[in-house]
Amino acid sequence: MCHVIVTCRSMLWTLLSIVVAFAELIAFMSADWLIGKAKPSSSEDVDNRTGGSQEPYHPTLGIYGRCTRISHMQFSRRDTLCGPYAENFSEIASGFWQATAIFLAMGIMILCTVAFVSVFTMCVQSIMKKSIFNVCGLLQGIAGLFLILGLILYPAGWGCQKAISYCGPYASAYKLGDCSLGWAFYTAIGGTVLTFICAVFSAQAEIATSSDKVQEEIEEGKNLICLL
């Protein structure tokens, strides 16, 4: 018989697992890993409402995508265009970034799998006589290691020609040049830290769902067990 067990710690672990997976996925897909040096305003960059020139634009560069400003000659209007600069994996700007993409993708796939499984831990607490929380925690630890490897390798690619075109001639491995780090990089770091927190917290979720209080309510014949 299936017992639905919901505790404060197990629910918090489930929500945190989902948040971490989405955060890493959004960061990976974003083009805001590097913020390039400002592009100087031209005579076309005029704010029609104020008559003054607009602020210089900062293009952004991601692992496989970029955002840049394109000019429409008609009406002298400028729009931001975002999309992948690499049509396939081999066109990613640096071998280090290719390795970063592989490690991050593997970590994110594991995190998304754990996030999906975590939803069902309310009904299923063990698999093949092993705690599903402990198994998921182990997988999150492995995912965290993949994410760390990806984030360590990523700055090694700052010396590629693509990064130099955004960050200036002084950009090199682990040196940003004229660029600065975007929110996606910091989000990926924060998500990695939270991944290890999830891995540790999974043990607390397992303890909460197998506590004596839960066992007592199961013995009383309750199918829905909610504990704070």
pTM (predicted TM-score): 0.84
Question: Whole-angstrom Cα distance, residue 22 to residue 39?
Answer: 32
* pLDDT greater than 70 at residue 203: yes
pLDDT tens-digit readout, 92-115: 989 999 999 999 999 999 999 999
Which stretches within 43-182 are classed as H helix? 95-119, 132-153, 161-167
Angle at 85 between CA 68 and CA 32, to 5 degrees: 55
* pLDDT greater than 90 at residue 51: no
Give phi and psi for 130, each to the nearest 5. Answer: -120, 140
The pLDDT of residue 208 is: 78
Mean of pLDDT values over 47-63:
67
Question: Whole-angstrom Cα distance, residue 150 to residue 99?
Answer: 7
The pLDDT of residue 143 is: 97
Mean of pLDDT values over 13-25:
95
Question: Which residues of the chain form beta strands (DSSP E)?
Answer: 4-7, 34-35, 60-61, 65-72, 77-84, 126-127, 130-131, 180-181, 224-227
Mean of pLDDT values over 40-50:
49
* pLDDT greater than 90 at residue 75: no
Domains, in order of start, for the chain: 2-32+92-224 (1.20.140.150)
